[in-house]
Structure 1
Amino acid sequence: MRTLTDLHSGWRLTLAEAAADTPERVRGASVEATVPGCVHTDLMAAGLLADPYLDRNEDQQRWVGDSDWRYATTLPVDGPAAPSTADRIDLVFDGLDTVAEIRLDGEPVGRTRNQHRGYRFDVTDRLAGGGAHELSVVLRAARRYAERVRDEVGERPGAYPEPLQYIRKTAANFGWDWGPSLLTAGIWRAVRLEHWSTARLARVRPQVRVVDGDTGEVVVHVEVERAGDPATELTVTARVGDVTGSATVPARATSATVRLRVPGVALWWPHDLGDQPRYELAVELAAAGVGLDTWRRRIGFRTVELRTAPDADGTPFAFVVNGREIFVRGANWIPDDCFLSRVDRPRYAARVRQAVDANITLLRVWGGGCYESDDFYDVCDELGVLVWQDFLFACAAYPEEEPLRGEVEAEARDNVVRLMPHPSLVLWNGNNENIWGFHDWDWQPVLAGRSWGWGYYSELLPAVLAELDPTRPYWPGSPYSGDPARHPNEQAHGNTHIWTIWNEVDYTAYRDWRPRFVSEFGFQGPPNWATLTRAIHDDPLLPDSPGMLAHQKAPDGTGKLARGMAPHLPEPRNTDDWHYLTQLNQARAVAVGIEHLRSLGPYCAGAVFWQLNDCWPVTSWAAVDGDGRRKPLWYAVRRAFAPRLLTVQPRPDGLAVVLVNDGGDTWSGDLEATRRDLGGEVLAKMSLPAVVEPGRPVTVVLSRDVAETADATAELLVVEFAGGRALWFFAEDRDLPLPTAPPQVRAAPAPDGVRLTVTARALLRDVVVQADRLDPSAEVDEQVVTLLPGESYTFTIRTSVAADDPRWGGAPVLRTVNDLRARAVDTVG
């Protein structure tokens, strides 16, 4: 039987070759290394490196990525390297970052050049004699290697000046418009010795389908590797529940197929449409009745189709799961930490749970990141979140020559096979923005006919999928219009990115778009206050103070925040105001985009905003900041992505109410729309019954007496339906004479914290409780709440701060747009 021994202890880290600016305190140092881990985190643990996430530390740490590093450990005499009767001993690395030389007792074992795949080396002869052995891994500077490859294959353009396209490494490590430049190195995934005899399961590929209603089919393709006598006949057995099948691997053969038909299976569904039943698939390899190896995974039965057949309006891009076309309510996912080994299963679970709680049904794993660990996909399987997986190409022209082409194919094969058991995985996508870049970013004169990646996206990757996993759809890129002769970001065809809003025009211009599917759009805002002040210690702390600018990676990001806010909100008077208003403006902007796109369904079949999460504390497009705190955007997304949405939208013939039902049942009730003055008095009213079937939005154009106003700054529209409410303001907040009457605030103890009841004496715009200003661990159940005169809302706050703390009653903890005009708040004990 194959036995596994982890090699995760006893490692030391030293410099192999120092960059010129390496500090003296590091030269000659030998520190304890954590495996899996990376150089940065080991140096931090040893007190030799300041946290690069804090202040401007990142700027002084380029030397870490520009140095060579050596990991070393000793395999003890009586440990995994002791004399063995196994036919074969393999040294296995699940992930090395990135350019590595592996040695045993100073003698070379192998080299690696790809962070995104695993490696296996036969070390049987090296360990056959027993005794102590030194295992070492030297990691060469990634930037220097990438520059050498660039010199070999020729310059290629990209969105960033770093040579990220010449090495198979997480591209975002080189820096992005939301992330720092931290070129990591390390043994970032598990390493072990495997002892085995006769044969092992080298690759198991379960192709899972649903046939004949509730009958599942699992076609298990097995590849074996042999050691010892190649004439040995082998048996492969596969089992799902009570259903078992077997196949023989004849002498000298290395593959077999077992086909199982499993009756009465329950379908796996996205979390908003059903349950997520999974079944254990067990595969065993034996010879003459003696077990040699086992493989186990949990699989799910579901069907998935990407509907792209042209129609009268263009080219749709619609997901169909278990025969039901769905509107995708999605978010883009980036690595949750620059130091990938720090992201464990509980952290994945917390982050994906935040997605589920925000009514997100799909996460797109973006192409500048990594293929996440199995824990991520397991959690998505368990929680019912669909996964769109990019192959790892982003924002650059990628050479198709060696030494890159072979690595691209190897990593694709590794990861397609590794991830194919997961029912959550519903799409493979060729790249992020590279086809767009080829068309629009002035690449073609620089390329001068050289390869740029199209061969990967149009030939290599689809061929790998057709061979290994034909059960899932593939799409060449994001954005891509479905035809190489057509502009890749043509909104009537395929999937679209919308970035003119953040970069050029006001967020209300989302309503000018009519796309079939949007896989990127978004708007920036700072992290929550506790996250911001943990990471940045500028005095004074200003939107443009040095630490703040170091944590704003978008070109002219601070200027864009100001210009995006100016048409809508009062001018901030200090950093507290700026923080509240920019977070609020982010929430409003993305909500406008989501609600508009959903109102276009089923013509538009999905909205995947940028982005769910951050990798460090930064001003960015994320809904959950770098410390895991939910920004006001998260709460706005939760409302805008609710399965049942009530939204007011401008249409050519006037204001309309759109009722969107993504649930499984009919939604019905009486729709009531009222035009009111800011004091709450009803000036005009209309009502009618409405029935909304799943997947078919209903649009109701409002009567002119309700939808039109003679004084935009004095009135608003209130729409109510089946317990839901939507508001429409005819003027922007900066122009509204918002009442200055302070709200009544009552704080009362709750089992886990505080109940904070806010009662509006007058119209109260967008109440936000920044509880993390009092308690960094505090969590609030709701944010961005507008109250009409006389209404109350009770915020439930999990916190250790007492209810009688007077700071609950006003700024900067309790914020409203009104308090930009008057700060007085009446607190009732």
Structure 2
Amino acid sequence: MKDVTPLTDGWTLRHDRTDVPATVPGCVHTDLLAAGLIEDPFLSRNETDLAWVGRTDWRYDTVLGARDTAHERTDLVFDGLDTVATVRVGGETVGNTRNMHRSYRFDITDRLKTATPLQVEFTSAYTEAEAVRAQVGERPNAYPEPFQYIRKMACSFGWDWGPTLVTAGLWKPARLEHWSTARLTRVRPHLTLDGTTGLAELRVDVERTETGSAQRLTARARVGDHTATAAVDGTHTTLTVQVPDAALWCPRGYGEQSLYEAELELLDADGTVLDRWERRVGFRTVTLDTGADAHGTAFTLAVNGEPVFARGVNWIPDDVFPSRITRDRYRTRLTQAADAGVNLLRVWGGGLYESDDFYDVCDELGLLVWQDFPFACAAYPEEQPLRSEIEAEARENVTRLMPHASLVLWNGNNENLWGFRDWEWEPALDGDSWGEGYYLGLLPRIVAETDPTRPYWAGSPWSGSWDHHPNDPAHGTAHSWDVWNRTDYTDYLDTVPRFVAEFGWQAPPTHATLRRALPGEELHPTSPGMLHHQKAADGNGKLRRGLARHFTVPESGPAGFDRWHYLTQLNQARAIATGIAHWRSHWPLCAGTVLWQLNDCWPVTSWAAIDGDERPKPLYFTLRELYADRLLTVQRRDGRPTVVADNQSPAPWDADVTLRRITADGRTLAETTMTARAGARSVALAAVPDDLLPAAGSTTEFLVADVPEGPGVLRALHFPVRDREFAYPAPRYDVAVVDHGDVVDVVVTARTLLRDLLLQADRLAPTAVADRGLLTLLPGESATVHVHGWDDAGAGSTAAVRAALFMVEPA
């Protein structure tokens, strides 16, 4: 059996006179941080002082012990090197690398006669990128950094939500592998169904030593309790394991996430196990409906034959230093997504092929994964040395990820087809290559050859062909960014895209996150640290203009900061609710919404629902309501308010709706009950009766729709005017605090209308977390917010709660 020696200990990071202990896996920045040689780049404006790190060459050193094994071969294996490296063993070069997204293997059998130095020398990613740019010529991109000339996580060069911290290091595990006769080099499992029988076709490639070249080898496979064997003819074989009555893997909300332990062993002529491959696999079918119809071109995923409304979020690397992301951290973040009703994550193209830990957890939680190939917001040269690197990385990662049942779509790129058409790239390129050959040629060919059981889509946005504009909402996938950048979120209501793959609205992170990230700073929207942690072009201007359309903008400076902070977070939640509720109500014409974005990689004002310190923003809780199986909203249909009962559950929903027309001071002017009957996975509409409609333009009346749901109610509101025009009463309410030890209950009782009441629990204590976000109470109604992590609740708690409560107030 193959022996493995992990290379985790004894590493040193060196540059000039710098000589510090190094962690593997890790990177230069984290090693310098651990040694106390740099300040935390996430705090204040420290990021700007660390640009030199990414422009410096570094070396990692360790010592390999003398070869003490009876095996024929010893390989030095790196699962990931970031990025441009020369590997030396005993002072002699054994290999060079230039791709963060690949693994590397070097035969060093004859180099370990004694203890031997191992050196991995990293050249600055800027040096490599600038040299490639000089070789292949300038190409346009959306940001002023040369990320498209090097196969590295693009967003480490900075983005409109991320810092510029260009990393280097052994970012994935390293090891020595000792083996004899033969080893497995690649196993490609094709999981299909023949009726109720699962078919696991395993395509196997092996490498042999010279002495093992003529030996008889056997591959033995097991999936669950079912087995198959096959002789290995040369370096290839294929064997199929049949699993009768296979239990299906289903997305969350559509059935169980049934997974099978799969194992493949390579045996020599004596039956000795030489190598082993192990994964968990699931049986399911995936199709992508892109058929033409009366409305344009569909984009609907179906799993096991059932069309799925994608309740999605975009995923970026969860840390700008990805070597710090553990399996537990993946599980925490992905569980947060699942708890918010998410059923699909799009792994965005400016980041990574994530580690297997990410996809393992998605398999377990039933989260569908849309995987971008790593291309984003730039014209990518198709010449060498990039083309061969891209082909090698694509083949390796398609093979690595294809066992995962959660993976349902390969996507060629993020916004590059759109950029070519709309961002003035075409004239600037003047016929130079820009990536089209990758997205419409190389990548679909690799997917078809390697992983034909999954659909491929050329890009996002993409209409399916050049016959339509790449970002035509009637065809394929669409990105909706004009709303955030130029207009108002109510303009989401003007279109019904077939699939909304990106849209979003900014807000600052939670208060405790800002306090930690900007120590000692007097907070206001344009304070130095706040501006540094706002990376979007004119981001604060867009936040202000977005607020001004709906609210009175608070005064600038520290005095207005708390109000500005609440209102921008409220506006973010309102914007996303407007879009998702509208688009979801048009299912199945619109087959999915993918919010930009779930997470952040550092503390920043951004579009995220969960901030860089892992704290949920109000948007997170609103998303939990929007992505619940049952959603009640009031939408305009045929020019009038209409109750929409949106049912994505597998059971019919007879929604008994109580409608009330209410005045700002709490009086009920009219009331009725009606039923909206929504079948399984369908939407029901019911027009609001005339006598329940608030007068058009009324500043004193609004509509409330309630449906009993479990112990509470689903509530939808309709106001005929914007908040700045409505006659909200001055809010009055009572507060009670009940400390149960492990949880503190905050009970709020409304004496007036309380619109979008929010308890910012992190103002009570940095560790405090509330179980709910924005809520609206009518006069006389009470709500309880459960707060965990508030350990010092006691005397003065009621006053502290009042200081942490926010709500819409009169203009």
Look up the match of 1:167: 150
Amino acid at match of 1:508: T
- Measure the CA separation in 2 of the matches of 1:621 and 1:696: 29
Residues 259, 711 of structure 1: alpha-carbon distance in 2 compared, 3 angstrom cutoff: closer
Does 2:82 align with 1:101? no
Does 2:475 align with 1:493? yes
Runs of at least 5 residues in structure 1 that lack an aligned partner in the other structure: 16-26, 822-829
Look up the match of 1:642: 628
Amino acid at match of 1:733: D
TM-score, normalising length: structure 2: 0.97
SS at match of 2:682: coil
Equivalent of residue 265 in structure 2, options 255, 260, 284 = 284
Contact 2:764–2:801 (CA under 8 A) maintained in structure 1: no
Stretch deviating more after TM superposition (688-697 or 479-488): 688-697
1:210-263 deviation digits (Å, cap 9, x = unpaired): 221x2111000000000132111110011112211011013xx10000111101
SS at match of 1:817: coil
CA displacement at 1:696 relative to structure 2? 1.9
Look up the match of 1:12: 12
Amino acid at match of 2:309: F
- Measure the CA separation in 1 of the matches of 2:321 and 2:178: 31
Look up the match of 1:305: 287
Look up the match of 1:260: 241
Contact 1:538–1:545 (CA under 8 A) maintained in structure 2: no
Contact 1:517–1:604 (CA under 8 A) maintained in structure 2: yes
Does 2:44 align with 1:55? yes
TM-score, normalising length: structure 1: 0.95
Does 2:43 align with 1:35? no
CA displacement at 1:812 relative to structure 2? 3.6
Amino acid at match of 2:720: F
Look up the match of 2:766: 776
1:335-354 deviation digits (Å, cap 9, x = unpaired): 00000000000000000000
- Measure the CA separation in 1 of the matches of 2:521 and 2:376: 37
- Measure the CA separation in 1 of the matches of 2:224 and 2:316: 36
Look up the match of 2:75: 90
Amino acid at match of 2:567: L
- Measure the CA separation in 1 of the matches of 2:260 and 2:801: 53
Look up the match of 2:793: 802
1:769-808 deviation digits (Å, cap 9, x = unpaired): 1111121111101010110111000000002131443355
Amino acid at match of 1:746: A
Amino acid at match of 1:764: L
Amino acid at match of 1:139: F
Does 2:440 align with 1:466? no
- Measure the CA separation in 2 of the matches of 1:689 and 1:652: 20
CA displacement at 1:741 relative to structure 2? 4.3
CA displacement at 1:95 relative to structure 2? 0.2
- Measure the CA separation in 1 of the matches of 2:764 and 2:731: 25
Look up the match of 1:567: 549
- Measure the CA separation in 2 of the matches of 1:142 and 1:807: 54
Does 2:496 align with 1:514? yes
Contact 2:656–2:708 (CA under 8 A) maintained in structure 1: yes
- Measure the CA separation in 2 of the matches of 1:137 and 1:360: 41
Equivalent of residue 583 in structure 1, options 553, 569, 586 = 569
Does 2:657 align with 1:671? yes
1:59-83 deviation digits (Å, cap 9, x = unpaired): 111100000000000123xxxx423
Counterparts of 1:211-226 in structure 2, within 5 Å, are: 211-212=194-195, 214-226=196-208
CA displacement at 1:486 relative to structure 2? 1.5
1:514-541 deviation digits (Å, cap 9, x = unpaired): 1000000000000001111100135322
Contact 2:697–2:721 (CA under 8 A) maintained in structure 1: no
CA displacement at 1:639 relative to structure 2? 0.6
Does 2:727 align with 1:727? no
1:275-299 deviation digits (Å, cap 9, x = unpaired): 1111001100001111101111000
CA displacement at 1:703 relative to structure 2? 2.2
1:120-169 deviation digits (Å, cap 9, x = unpaired): 01111112x2x111001000000111011001001110101111100000
Look up the match of 2:121: 138
Amino acid at match of 2:52: W
SS at match of 2:263: strand
Contact 2:676–2:685 (CA under 8 A) maintained in structure 1: no
Contact 1:597–1:607 (CA under 8 A) maintained in structure 2: yes
Look up the match of 2:676: 690
Stretch deviating more after TM superposition (171-180 or 262-271): 262-271
Counterparts of 1:617-656 in structure 2, within 5 Å, are: 617-656=603-642
CA displacement at 1:815 relative to structure 2? 1.2
SS at match of 1:148: helix
Residues 808, 453 of structure 1: alpha-carbon distance in 2 compared, 3 angstrom cutoff: farther
Look up the match of 1:210: 193
Equivalent of residue 813 in structure 1, options 790, 804, 809 = 804
- Measure the CA separation in 2 of the matches of 1:671 and 1:741: 27
Equivalent of residue 758 in structure 1, options 744, 748, 752 = 748
Stretch deviating more after TM superposition (767-776 or 556-565): 767-776
Amino acid at match of 1:715: E
Does 2:240 align with 1:240? no
Contact 2:55–2:126 (CA under 8 A) maintained in structure 1: yes
- Measure the CA separation in 2 of the matches of 1:306 and 1:586: 31
Amino acid at match of 2:46: N
Contact 2:645–2:655 (CA under 8 A) maintained in structure 1: no
Contact 2:737–2:798 (CA under 8 A) maintained in structure 1: no
Does 2:185 align with 1:196? no
Amino acid at match of 2:807: T
Counterparts of 1:183-582 in structure 2, within 5 Å, are: 183-212=166-195, 214-229=196-211, 230-250=213-233, 253-288=234-269, 289-537=271-519, 539-573=521-555, 574-582=560-568
Contact 1:306–1:320 (CA under 8 A) maintained in structure 2: yes
CA displacement at 1:711 relative to structure 2? 5.7
Amino acid at match of 1:445: P
1:182-230 deviation digits (Å, cap 9, x = unpaired): 0000000000000000000110111111221x21110000000001321
Contact 2:550–2:722 (CA under 8 A) maintained in structure 1: yes
CA displacement at 1:303 relative to structure 2? 0.9
- Measure the CA separation in 2 of the matches of 1:507 and 1:526: 18
Percent pairwise identity: 56
Look up the match of 2:595: 609
Contact 1:808–1:814 (CA under 8 A) maintained in structure 2: no
Amino acid at match of 1:761: R
CA displacement at 1:746 relative to structure 2? 0.4
Aligned-residue RMSD, C-alpha: 1.2
1:445-490 deviation digits (Å, cap 9, x = unpaired): 1111011101001110111111111000000000000112320000
Amino acid at match of 1:59: T
- Measure the CA separation in 2 of the matches of 1:326 and 1:113: 39
Amino acid at match of 1:814: L
CA displacement at 1:766 relative to structure 2? 1.0
- Measure the CA separation in 2 of the matches of 1:423 and 1:314: 30
Contact 2:327–2:357 (CA under 8 A) maintained in structure 1: yes
Look up the match of 1:115: 100
- Measure the CA separation in 2 of the matches of 1:649 and 1:258: 54
Stretch deviating more after TM superposition (613-622 or 256-265): 256-265
